[in-house]
């Protein structure tokens, strides 16, 4: 690029995989990128931009530094779901500028895609798919396929429509090439259609791909018309995003922290969580404060505060994690709700009894004080049971109220469980005080 | 199935998607399944078995209840990666029995696949792929493709070999059908090959699919010979498994708990973690115990134990989660190791200072005791810094030593951080004791 042999550069560059092209592009400085826009055609640029992660913060800058006509041609050449994803992150003035340079029908198409919620099937679908009339033959279809091969995101599934333009069948290219060329599509197409609705959550779409092992899946609107398809590459992104969200929720931090973020930026992302949880934990402190009299009489009680809060917090986190994963996989209806809560209560009770007996023995033998052991054991058992039920109830309730259950994070549950554990511990200790202090 | 109209049943059943067939099959009782084996041919059964989750505990039972010849025909008809996955979970005697019924070459092929570690490219690849000689024409290739279409797991990528049977190029079916029929493959094939090695970790394979948006990727052995391909459906399974492992690690529980597990089974899966962590937290208790004298003099100190341990634990979990995700995405070499640790130290320090100042002010004004506030603030700052560094250091060290960093779980880090937090807290409190108790 630097030594000016444009022809040689073009050959080397275009022989690379699009992803390797994008790695190269992202390593360039601004003046080098400007040279590249001169050397490459908008469609060659578009192929590469199709593989760039659309959430990259630099993308609006890249488009700004291009000539408006060039950028808009490039966007038009890209698969429309990717172009829409890029435009999603730009301000309205720029979007309008780009769209005004495109042919009206393409611009309207993109406007339509921008209109869908990004986390639904509509938000991840492409309208660049292959459709045929059911009356044509396999031979015609293969011939016509060539014209689609330039623009369609996948040509490995053909969607087959009737005379009302309703989706009536699907065929894979694999099935198509097995047919005799005079066979009419409608006689061999697969009519057992699995579709997703344009408003379906992206997580549900991913579930369909997992079950049926599709490479693409048709998206229909409310009147059952085919409006687009979702392809498997977008589903992999969805699966990664969902996993990252769940993981971030459990950790109480957005784990999408760049390796290049400086320590202050990293800290500023983590602090809002920490300070919020700190304030919550101050409620626990005021609660312990009310028991200062008790502590003054039996300072031994302080020794086990962190054992009880820590263990109950761990149990609550376990219960939370199981519930969040379950909610991600299955829909839980009202009758299941109470059944699951009951199960979690029993699981908590059983876990609590085993852990309680363990700590009863540990403390009893260590301190030669089995009444103290009993206090700690009972408190542990009760605190674990409560933490288990809370860890399961809170995400299920949030999901029922329409919130993402993963937001009820691990640290939130364990901080909340500190509060209930301390309350339980000191209440029980207060009741037994005269027995274990004397002994 | 029950009313005996075999012909009608076969039609309805075979018109369903394989996944829906498998849902139906899994809902049957044993005597109904036995009927099904009479009605369906081994290949029809194999198509359905290809979509059943191979980790299902009932699978060995299903194969046992089939006639050995029938089961072995079915396994032979299945894609060989799926057949190998099924055999993986059966005992050796059964495996040998099934393999002895197969043609020798097929049996040897499966034996070869069983030999690879399940978490590597070899463990998830199939040998049912399409390969052509580089000298044939596009027209011949399309004609020959039909014979592969029955058995190959995907026909959408063609792998092209030279006369030494070395992999020299790849072509997609999409590119192939765009060619004139007399074009020789070697003149148009893509020679910029992206391959994975048979011993590569499955997580690395998934990373290749994410970057290049492949539907399949060739797997080569140490002498660079093509031995198989990995397809995108298996990669989705890998991504799900890895996410689940990370999530389970962070929660300190195997979240793959079935909704049908009874509470005792669920508890028995969670207890080993809880009891281990309880023992670790007992070390913290003995540490606090050593400071009982201090606590007797200043019971106010007990009020803030859970605030400090809880907040430091939250900070440690954040740092752990960021480190584990980073390790999952990037290889971290030796120079990065210390750089990242230094960054995490600064992040911890900055987070610690902000949180420390907050609690200093909160405690100072609440208790009208700014020396106490200072003690708590300093302890908080130090405890958070240590927890941050530990949360980052431990997974990085584990990864360096060849262990899965996700095993250093959230609860483990927060329980460990309880210990260091308490030690820091009481050390600082001990130093300042005379100043804040008097005031």
Task: Pick from B318, B348, B350, B357 the residue to mutate for testing the A interface (most A CBs within 10 Å).
Answer: B318
Query: What mean pLDDT do residues B15-42 have?
Result: 90
pLDDT digits (tens, 9 = 90+) for A202-246: 989 999 999 999 999 999 998 889 999 999 999 999 999 888 888
Q: Please compute Rg for chain A using Cα positions.
A: 30
Q: Beta strands of B291-384 (E only): which ranges?
A: none
Contact A351 B325 (CB under 8 A): no
- Output the CA torsion sign for A101, A105, A108, A109: negative
First CA to last CA across chain A, in angstroms? Answer: 85
Percent of chain B with pLDDT over 90: 46
Q: Which residue has the tokens 């103290």?
A: A372
Residues ≥6 apart with Cβ < 8 Å to A246: A324, A325, A328, A406, B243, B247
* Domains in chain A, CATH or no CATH each: 6-115 (1.25.60.10), 130-243 (3.10.580.10), 263-438 (1.10.357.20)
Contact status, residue A189 vs residue A171, Cβ threshold 8 Å: yes
- In the structure encoding, which two tokens stand for residue A176, read together? 């198509």
Instruction: Quote the pLDDT of residue A439.
Output: 44
Query: What mean pLDDT do residues A155-161 have?
Result: 94
Whether B247 and chain A come into contact, CB under 8 Å, resolves to yes
10 Å CB burial of residue A324 (0-12, 13-18, 19+) is: buried
Instruction: Quote the pLDDT of residue A296.
Output: 83
Interface of A with B in 227-246 (CB under 8 A): 232-233, 235-236, 239-240, 243-244, 246
Contact A251 B250 (CB under 8 A): yes
Q: Which residue has the tokens 């140490």?
A: B222
Q: Beta strands of A196-342 (E only): which ranges?
A: 196-197, 216-220, 226-231
Q: Which residue has the tokens 């996993």?
A: A243
Q: What CA–CA distance (Å, rounded) separates B239 from B77?
A: 27
The band of A401, judged by pLDDT with boundaries at 50, 70 and 90, is: confident
Residue A63's nearest CA partner among A10, A27, A99 is A99
Whether A362 and chain B come into contact, CB under 8 Å, resolves to yes
The backbone torsions φ and ψ at residue A232, rounded to the nearest 5 degrees and listed phi first, read: -65, -30
The CA distance from B395 to the nearest CA of chain A, in Å, is: 15
Contact B275 A309 (CB under 8 A): no
From chain A, pick out residues whose CB is under 8 angstroms from the CB of B247: 243, 246-247, 250, 321, 325
Contact B418 A310 (CB under 8 A): yes
Task: Pick from B347, B352, B353, B358 the residue to mutate for testing the A interface (most A CBs within 10 Å).
Answer: B347
Contact status, residue B196 vs residue B230, Cβ threshold 8 Å: yes
Instruction: Quote the pLDDT of residue A189.
Output: 94
What's the mean per-residue pLDDT of chain B?
Answer: 88
Instruction: Quote the pLDDT of residue A328.
Output: 75
pLDDT digits (tens, 9 = 90+) for A340-389: 888 899 999 999 999 999 999 999 999 888 899 999 999 999 999 999 99
Percent of chain B with pLDDT over 70: 95
- In the structure encoding, which two tokens stand for residue A131, read together? 């459709």
Nearest CA in chain A to B193: A17
Q: What CA–CA distance (Å, rounded) separates A286 from B243?
A: 39
Whether A352 and chain B come into contact, CB under 8 Å, resolves to no
Q: What CA–CA distance (Å, rounded) separates B428 from A202?
A: 51
- In the structure encoding, which two tokens stand for residue B372, read together? 């106490």
The band of B348, judged by pLDDT with boundaries at 50, 70 and 90, is: very high
The backbone torsions φ and ψ at residue A199, rounded to the nearest 5 degrees and listed phi first, read: -95, 0
Q: What CA–CA distance (Å, rounded) separates A148 from A76?
A: 16
The backbone torsions φ and ψ at residue A227, rounded to the nearest 5 degrees and listed phi first, read: -115, -15
Contact A313 B19 (CB under 8 A): no
Residue B273's nearest CA partner among A384, A251, A383 is A384
pLDDT digits (tens, 9 = 90+) for B363-411: 999 988 889 999 999 999 999 999 999 998 888 888 888 777 766 578 8
pLDDT digits (tens, 9 = 90+) for B190-226: 999 999 999 999 989 999 999 999 999 999 998 889 9
The band of B332, judged by pLDDT with boundaries at 50, 70 and 90, is: low
Lowest-confidence pick of A164-168, A253-257, B55-59, B312-316: A253-257
Instruction: Quote the pLDDT of residue B412.
Output: 86
The band of A134, judged by pLDDT with boundaries at 50, 70 and 90, is: very high
First CA to last CA across chain B, in angstroms? Answer: 86
ipTM of model? 0.85
Query: Looking at beta carbons, which pairs linking B207-215 to residues 24 or more positions away fall under 8 Å?
Result: B207/B329, B209/A236, B209/B235, B210/A236, B210/A240, B211/A19, B211/A51, B212/A17, B212/A18, B212/A19, B212/A51, B213/A19, B213/A51, B213/A233, B215/A156, B215/A215, B215/A232, B215/B154, B215/B156, B215/B157
From chain A, pick out residues whose CB is under 8 angstroms from the CB of B322: 251, 253, 255, 257, 266
Contact A17 B295 (CB under 8 A): no
CB neighbours (10 Å) of residue A131? Answer: 15
Q: Which residue has the higher pLDDT, A252 or A226?
A: A226
Instruction: Quote the pLDDT of residue B439.
Output: 44
Whether A375 and chain B come into contact, CB under 8 Å, resolves to no
Whether B258 and chain A come into contact, CB under 8 Å, resolves to no
The band of A413, judged by pLDDT with boundaries at 50, 70 and 90, is: confident
Instruction: Quote the pLDDT of residue B438.
Output: 54
Residues ≥6 apart with Cβ < 8 Å to A391: A315, A316, A317, A318, A319, A320, A323, A344, A413, A417
Residues ≥6 apart with Cβ < 8 Å to A100: A107
Contact B318 A146 (CB under 8 A): no
Q: pLDDT at residue A164 above 60?
A: yes
Lowest-confidence pick of A258-267, A417-426, B140-149: A258-267
A-B interface: how many C-beta pairs under 8 angstroms?
340
């Amino acid at each position: 690029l630097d030594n000016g042999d444009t022809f040689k550069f073009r050959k080397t560059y275009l022989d690379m995989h699009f992803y390797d092209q994008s790695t190269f592009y992202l390593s360039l400085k601004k003046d080098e990128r400007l040279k590249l826009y001169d050397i490459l055609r908008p469609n060659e640029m578009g192929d590469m931009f199709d593989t760039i992660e659309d959430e990259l913060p630099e993308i609006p800058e890249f488009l700004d530094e291009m000539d408006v006509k060039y950028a808009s041609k490039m966007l038009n050449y890209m698969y429309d779901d990717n172009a829409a994803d890029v435009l999603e992150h730009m301000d309205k003035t720029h979007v309008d500028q780009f769209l005004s340079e495109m042919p009206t029908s393409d611009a309207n198409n993109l406007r339509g895609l921008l209109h869908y919620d990004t986390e639904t099937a509509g938000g991840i679908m492409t309208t660049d798919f292959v459709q045929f009339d059911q009356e044509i033959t396999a031979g015609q279809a293969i011939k016509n396929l060539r014209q689609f091969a330039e623009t369609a995101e996948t040509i490995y599934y053909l969607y087959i429509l009737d005379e009302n333009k309703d989706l009536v069948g699907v065929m894979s290219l694999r099935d198509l090439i097995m047919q005799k060329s005079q066979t009419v599509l409608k006689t061999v197409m697969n009519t057992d259609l699995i579709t997703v609705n344009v408003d379906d959550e992206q997580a549900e779409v991913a579930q369909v791909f997992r079950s049926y092992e599709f490479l693409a899946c048709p998206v229909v609107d409310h009147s059952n018309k085919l409006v687009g398809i979702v392809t498997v590459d977008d589903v992999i992104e969805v699966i990664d995003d969902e996993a990252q969200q769940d993981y971030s929720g459990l950790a109480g931090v957005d784990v999408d922290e760049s390796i290049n973020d400086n320590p202050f930026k990293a800290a500023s992302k983590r602090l809002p969580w920490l300070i919020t949880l700190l304030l919550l934990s101050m409620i626990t402190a005021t609660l312990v404060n009310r028991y200062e009299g008790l502590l003054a009489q039996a300072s031994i009680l302080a020794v086990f505060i962190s054992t009880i809060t820590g263990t109950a917090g761990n149990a609550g986190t376990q219960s939370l994690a199981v519930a969040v994963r379950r909610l991600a996989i299955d829909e839980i209806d009202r009758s299941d709700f109470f059944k699951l809560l009951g199960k979690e209560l029993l699981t908590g009770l059983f876990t609590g009894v085993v852990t309680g007996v363990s700590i009863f023995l540990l403390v009893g033998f260590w301190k030669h004080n089995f009444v103290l052991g009993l206090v700690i054991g009972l408190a542990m058992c009760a605190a674990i049971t409560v933490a288990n039920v809370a860890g399961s109830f809170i995400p299920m309730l949030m999901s029922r109220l329409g919130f993402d259950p993963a937001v009820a994070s691990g640290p939130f549950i364990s901080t909340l469980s500190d509060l209930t554990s301390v309350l339980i511990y000191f209440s029980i200790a207060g009741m037994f005080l005269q027995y274990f202090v004397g002994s």
